[in-house]
Amino acid sequence: MAIRSFLILFILFFFSSLNPILSLYEDQVGLVDWHQQYLGKVKQAVFHTHKTGRKRVVVSTEENVVALLDLRQGEIFWRHVLGSNDVIDGIDIALGKYVITLSSGGSILRAWNLPDGQMVWESSLRGPKHSKSLLLVPTNLKIEKDNIVIIFSNGRLNAVSCIDGEVLWEKDFEGESLEVQQVIQPPGSNLIYVVGFASSSLFEMYQINALNGELLKHESAAFSGGFLGEVSPVFSETVVALDSTGLILLTVSFQNGISFQQTPISNLVKDSFGPAKIIPSSVTGIFAIKMNAVTIVIRVTDENKLEVVEKTNHETSISDALPVSEGQQAFALVQRAGPEIHLRVKLAHNWDDNLLKESVKMDQHRGLVHKIYINNYIRTDKSYGFRALIVMEDHSLLLLQQGEIVWSREDGLASIIDVTTSELPVERDGVSVAKVEHNLFEWLKGHMLKLKGTLMLASPQDIAAIQSMRLKNSEKSKMTRDHNGFRKLLIVLTRAGKLFALHTGDGHIVWSYLLQSLQKSKVCQHPIGLNLYKWQVPHHHAMDENPSVLVIGKCGPSSDAPGALSFVDTYTGKELSSLSLVHSVAQVIPLPYTDSTEQRLHLLIDADKHAHLYPKTPEAISIFERELSNIYWYSVEDDNGIIKGHALRGKCTGEVADEVCFDTRELWSIVFPSESEKIIATVTRKLNEVVHTQAKVIADQEVMYKYISRNLLFVATVALKGSGEIGSVTPEESWLVAYLIDTVTGRILHRVTHHGSQGPVHAVFSENWVVYHYFNLKAHRYEMSVIEIYDQSRADNKDVWKLVLGKHNLTSPISLYSRPDVITKSQSYFFTHSVKTIAVTSTTKGITSKQLLIGTIGDQVLALDKRFLDPRRTVNPTQAEKEEGIIPLTDSLPIIPQSYVTHALRVEGLRGIITVPAKLESTTLVFAHGVDLFFTQLAPSRTYDSLTDDFNYALLLITIVALVAAISLTWTLSERKELQENWR
Amino acid sequence: MAPIARLLLLALLSTALTISSGSGDGYTINGRVKIPQGLGTKGFALPGKTSNVKVILNGGQIVTYLRPDGYFLFQNIPAGTHLIEVAAIGYFFSPVRVDVSARNPGKVQAALTENRRGLSELVLEPLRDEQYYEIREPFSIMSVVKSPMGLMVGFMLVVVFLMPKLVENMDPEEMRRAQEEMRNQGVPSLASLLPGGGRN
């Protein structure tokens, strides 16, 4: 065994020294990798459908994406992912050729060229105070042939030129407590109305000349009842508001002086449901209110009378108004009822007739309809047709036309919270013979084509055929487990509370499931998905069970919000069961124990520091009680700068007897001085990481022993001043301290201070080393440091005689309570780019050398050999060290373009990188997610244990045939010669 | 002495900052990204257009885009030392250190952090273009010969054509003796292994 592993190591080393970088040929793109582009949940959509030309739609999303989509297929023409704190407030189309976006709390206004997405101009808007941000693009308001854009943001009204983004005029609304609610521009006039509330009981109206910003009229009126929430404009000079109790509707008209008209909601509907909320709409004369789960659509008549036109228990979405013909507006209402959604399009002034009424079958797992945008087209018979873009509860985007779903986009996948993997089912039925024969013929033909390709004999058609053949390899998207472990299911949990299973072969969605426990309900208003864990991984004695995952969520953002669990079968994609917890979930600890059905034991720690064991079976409890004294964990309180270690004490006392509840005790705590150190990063090793060997043979036949412990924690702290952005602090007043802490005893094993450095810190911990990335203010460059930790207590075991005489300490028990005798080695290097995330490759047995996967600020993933981050690098390595593979020391880490695993692609909005070992030791599966998804296979030391896809079987066959022919030929020749000899 | 002076200066700076932030405006960094024509177009189609180039301040604090003429603008930036990065597929840009001074507004000092080269004006050019793919080497006889199968064939050729030559050059007497010996020891020869070879 040892020899074999040595051999593998040798081969590995041989190969890796042969070619240190992994690289890809351009024609290999898409062979093992896939890339998917998403947008996120659509916030706003604006159609761009001229009579001629392509039908397009501009959307802005909650992932800060602005994109132009093809309305026919839903493909992306162009897309920009704005910075993470550049939240989009509004979009619109101006002049028919620019997309205008208002973002960053109304302070950045940009115009993008509609056909190609090139930014045309950008302007920055400031204002005296924080306020609502509103964007208005009037179609026929011109100042000297220049269309203008009206923006209200930060307490200032701006008029900006459409052509170059110049601010034409501005007007401040500095009133102390003035809260501007709406900016209304009556079509066809040069007036702008700004309406809002001041000191909670004053209604204020400003009338402004849109051409020069001159204040024409300012009126205010007090309403003793006060105001609540938003207002909805119903006519150009009338808005609807709610009084502070939420029980009385106010129709406020400001045409000639401000007049209020009160209508108690109880007069409109018989049974009152408590305080209401206005759902603003831009439809003339129509608005909606919501009370609990009841939606009421109300029409305002010309005399400002209110009438209820619809009252429904279904969640209803109303679209914006769409001008259809002279002075007429259409709008759409959409509701979900069972397996269908009902879409109605009506004219604003005529509630009773429907322009369109359709029912569309909709997958149950898309949930409710959250938003709807409509657009019209003229049918061949000159009547109006409508298409509707709808956003569902699972964040997907669909286009409906003529009662059918034209296309759909799974944009929920742009906001992944957590990822885990699951194996596919084992292949049971044998393949039929006919299929094999067919395959054999195809296979041979394919390899002949490939051979032609290598010999440069292939025609362009052949090359195209080869490429499509490689990409369409049906093997890789099969729904069964493969021998090499390349085919798996990626189980992802999205922010919408939906689980998706993606196939690693080509990224298609195998199943999706909208978790009811993570949907808004009466008991839980703001559910949040937290984590995914492998609940059951059938292995030895539970092969008939399907694997399942555990989804943990909680109800609301507070720390003591009750948790929710759900268990989902990963083969079928069905929920097995779900639990609403009475306690909160502060921390989840997957334990290294499983019960007889291979269900993994999980410990959930609540906010009151009680531990709850799942599954709640007697068997699990008995396993757990046996291991009670071996369970330790830690908690980090970032705000107070405290790290605490905990252990279990025994069954819960006092409260209601709960078999699975355990009391905990605090073992140790480390308090960082709050005035000088602030915790900014904590990292531990991955729980499932495999380490092949503790020993590391170095150049001169010496052995070093890695200090391998699952209980090591890396903590980085910075000076309080240095916790801000780069440029906000000088090198003298900022420092960064890195700690290695044992989480069982709370002992600090290593501490190092980097003076003149600051965060953000991104770190990764693996085996016995930690690599972290931070900013060096003195050099004004990013730096990466490595710390390796070695066990000294075993260092004197290399004497053979000691081993023979049994005087070694290899069999002495390892306990973290014994004082560890460790040494650390570290080194720092410059690194060019900002980093978003760092991960490390992982393989089944941990033999293959490691690569760091660095997600750069440019949304690319760079693979960097761990050998570049080896503290034993020196400027002039000796011959022996060179043979060991030590690279001469350089001050910065190399960036080799060929080692970008994402090659020429970007994973826009990159958030996380996950690595999963394949069954084949040389290969690891990498999944990077952000707004985009990217998956590939990596072989950090090349595929030393299997033939690559490029291996030419045809050439091998031809060689064998040629050899056999040569042998028979020489044999006959020698026969003949021998015969001649004998005759002589 | 120097640190004290710097501290003083810092105090001055911070007061200046508060004043300027009180008036609502910080400083402006105005620059240009210039991608030389012809660079990066060899080998494969240029993946990144100027519309996809992002300019990033301080590791993601502000992200902006290029105008059609390549200019970019960061507004309301506090005085201090900042870092600008350019993310463009197909090109390698060095991050740029930019000093915004509060004392003489409008004066911006810039230097590439990769090679510490100062910039007289904020014009950012790629240091090199990035080839993400290996270039396939054209078919050559040597690569076939060097491959394991090529070596196998080569070895066989050597055995087939050179071994008889060696045998020929041997002294016939000696050879006969060797053959005798072999036959006596019963060591199977190549001929005896082959079908029909056992009869002699």
Closest CA to B20 of B75, B70, B59, B65: B75
Helix or strand (DSSP H, E) at B172? helix B172-185
Mean pLDDT rounded to a whole number for chain A = 84
Residues of A within 8 A of B143 (CB-CB) are none
pLDDT at B68 over 80: yes
Nearest-angstrom CA–CA distance, A944 and A19? 12
Nearest-angstrom CA–CA distance, A491 and A975? 67
We report the CATH number of the domain holding residue B114 as 2.60.40.1120
On whether both A788 and A804 belong to a single domain, the answer is: yes
Which one-letter amino acid corresponds to residue A748?
A: I
Nearest-angstrom CA–CA distance, A449 and A956? 14
On whether both A826 and A681 belong to a single domain, the answer is: yes
Query: A228: Cβ–Cβ under 8 A, 6 or more apart, which residues?
Result: A241, A242, A243, A244, A245, A246, A275
Q: How far is CA A837 from CA A760, A784, A859, A954, in A?
A: 11, 13, 10, 43
How high is the pLDDT of residue A390? 92
Residue with tokens 């490429």: A467
Give the lowest-confidence range in A12-26, A325-339, A821-835: A12-26
On whether both B33 and B91 belong to a single domain, the answer is: yes
DSSP state string for A588-614: EEEEEEE-TT-BEEEEEE-TTSEEEEE
A494 by DSSP, 3-state: which?
A: strand
**What are the start-end ranges of the E strands in A832-974?**
835-840, 851-856, 861-865, 912-917, 924-929, 933-938
Domain contains B172 = yes
Question: Residue A959: which of B66, B92, B153 has the nearest Cβ?
Answer: B153
On whether both B62 and B111 belong to a single domain, the answer is: yes
Residue with tokens 């062979």: A31
Mean pLDDT score, B176-192: 67
Nearest-angstrom CA–CA distance, A410 and A42? 11
Residues of B within 8 A of A101 (CB-CB) are none
**Cβ distance A111 to A123 under 8 Å?**
no
Domain contains A25 = no
Helix or strand (DSSP H, E) at A975? helix A953-983
Domain boundary among A671, A704, A736: A671
Give the lowest-confidence range in A297-306, A496-505, B168-177: B168-177
Q: Do A24 and B134 touch (CB under 8 A)?
A: yes
C-beta pairs of B9-17 under 8 Å, 24+ apart in sequence: B10/A730, B13/B79, B13/B102, B13/B103, B16/B79, B16/B102, B16/B103, B17/B78, B17/B79, B17/B102
On whether both B71 and B123 belong to a single domain, the answer is: yes
User: Which of the two residues, B163 and A974, has the higher pLDDT score?
Assistant: A974
pLDDT at A796 over 60: yes
How high is the pLDDT of residue A741? 92
**Cβ distance A376 to A5 under 8 Å?**
no
How high is the pLDDT of residue A428? 64
- Whether the CA torsion B93, B99, B104, B106 is positive or negative: it is positive
Query: A907: Cβ–Cβ under 8 A, 6 or more apart, which residues?
Result: A35, A855, A859, A860, A861, A928, A929, A930, A931, A932, A933, A934
pLDDT > 90: percent of chain A: 27
* B69 and A CB contact within 8 Å: no
On whether both A488 and A545 belong to a single domain, the answer is: yes
On whether both A242 and A271 belong to a single domain, the answer is: yes
Domain contains B174 = yes
Domain contains A856 = yes
Mean pLDDT score, A388-403: 91
Residue with tokens 């873009």: A389
How high is the pLDDT of residue B18? 28
On whether both B143 and B123 belong to a single domain, the answer is: no
Q: Do A26 and B44 touch (CB under 8 A)?
A: yes
Q: Do A119 and B131 touch (CB under 8 A)?
A: no
Domain contains B168 = yes
User: Which of the two residues, A737 and A254, has the higher pLDDT score?
Assistant: A737
Domain contains B178 = yes
Nearest-angstrom CA–CA distance, A135 and A152? 7
A817 burial type by CB count under 10 A (0-12 exposed, 13-18 middle, 19+ buried): exposed
On whether both A261 and A195 belong to a single domain, the answer is: yes
On whether both B35 and B118 belong to a single domain, the answer is: yes
By residue range, what is the domain housing residue A893?
834-942
C-beta pairs of A535-538 under 8 Å, 24+ apart in sequence: A535/A567, A535/A599, A535/A600, A535/A602, A536/A597, A536/A598, A536/A599, A536/A600, A537/A423, A537/A598, A537/A600, A538/A598
Phi first, then psi, for residue A444 (nearest 5°) are -65, -45
Mean pLDDT score, B147-153: 76
Domain contains A257 = yes
Asked if the peptide bond before residue A760 counts as cis, ω within 30 degrees of 0, the response is: yes
Residue in B with minimal Cα distance to A455:
B139
Mean pLDDT score, A292-309: 83
pLDDT at A466 over 80: no
On whether both B119 and B145 belong to a single domain, the answer is: no
On whether both A694 and A774 belong to a single domain, the answer is: yes
pLDDT at A561 over 80: yes
Residues of B within 8 A of A932 (CB-CB) are none
Nearest-angstrom CA–CA distance, A230 and A290? 12
The C-alpha of A915 sits at a distance from chain B's nearest C-alpha, in angstroms, of 22
Domains: count for chain B = 2
How high is the pLDDT of residue A540? 67
Domains: count for chain A = 6
On whether both A660 and A768 belong to a single domain, the answer is: no
* A19 and B CB contact within 8 Å: no
Which one-letter amino acid corresponds to residue A747?
A: R
Residue A414 tokens read as 């742009």
Query: A210: Cβ–Cβ under 8 A, 6 or more apart, which residues?
Result: A138, A141, A148, A150, A159, A185, A190, A191, A192
Domain contains B133 = no
On whether both A750 and A615 belong to a single domain, the answer is: no
* A725 and B CB contact within 8 Å: yes
Domain contains A470 = yes
Mean pLDDT score, A652-665: 76
Domain contains B5 = no
Residue pLDDT, tens place only, A85-94? 889 999 998 8
Strands B108-112 and B118-119: antiparallel
**Cβ distance A717 to A677 under 8 Å?**
yes
Count of CB contacts below 8 A, A vs B? Answer: 153
pLDDT at A789 over 60: yes
Question: Residue A24: which of B85, B114, B133 has the nearest Cβ?
Answer: B133
The pTM of this model reads 0.86
How high is the pLDDT of residue A661? 85
Length of chain B: 200
On whether both A684 and A654 belong to a single domain, the answer is: no
Domain contains A346 = no
On whether both A680 and A824 belong to a single domain, the answer is: yes
Domain contains B29 = yes
Domain contains B155 = yes
Phi first, then psi, for residue A154 (nearest 5°) are 50, 40
Give the lowest-confidence range in A32-41, A435-444, A561-570, B186-195: B186-195
On whether both B53 and B86 belong to a single domain, the answer is: yes
By residue range, what is the domain housing residue B105?
25-127
Residue in A with minimal Cα distance to B193:
A971
Nearest-angstrom CA–CA distance, A276 and A289? 6
* B156 and A CB contact within 8 Å: yes
* Banded model confidence at residue A20, pLDDT cuts 50, 70, 90: very low
Residue in A with minimal Cα distance to B150:
A959
The C-alpha of B109 sits at a distance from chain A's nearest C-alpha, in angstroms, of 14
Closest CA to A467 of A938, A31, A23: A31
Q: How far is CA A941 from CA A688, A770, A870, in A?
A: 21, 21, 17
On whether both B87 and B147 belong to a single domain, the answer is: no
Domain contains A786 = yes
On whether both A825 and A705 belong to a single domain, the answer is: yes
Q: Do B89 and A906 touch (CB under 8 A)?
A: yes
**Cβ distance A111 to A156 under 8 Å?**
no
Mean pLDDT score, A68-93: 90
Helix (H), strand (E) counts: chain A: 8, 65
On whether both B76 and B116 belong to a single domain, the answer is: yes
**Cβ distance A262 to A250 under 8 Å?**
yes
On whether both A740 and A884 belong to a single domain, the answer is: no
On whether both B29 and B122 belong to a single domain, the answer is: yes
pLDDT at B118 over 70: yes
How high is the pLDDT of residue A804? 64
Domain boundary among A552, A570, A585: A585
Q: How far is CA B166 from CA A20, B161, B162, B189, in A?
A: 43, 9, 6, 17
The interface residues of chain B toward chain A in range 34-63, judged by CB-CB distance below 8 A, are 44, 47, 49-51, 54, 56, 58-63
DSSP state string for A95-154: TTTEEEEEETTTTEEEEEETTT--EEEEEE---SS----EEE--SS-EETTEEEEEEEET
Query: A639: Cβ–Cβ under 8 A, 6 or more apart, which residues?
Result: none
Query: A123: Cβ–Cβ under 8 A, 6 or more apart, which residues?
Result: A108, A109, A110, A160, A165, A166, A167
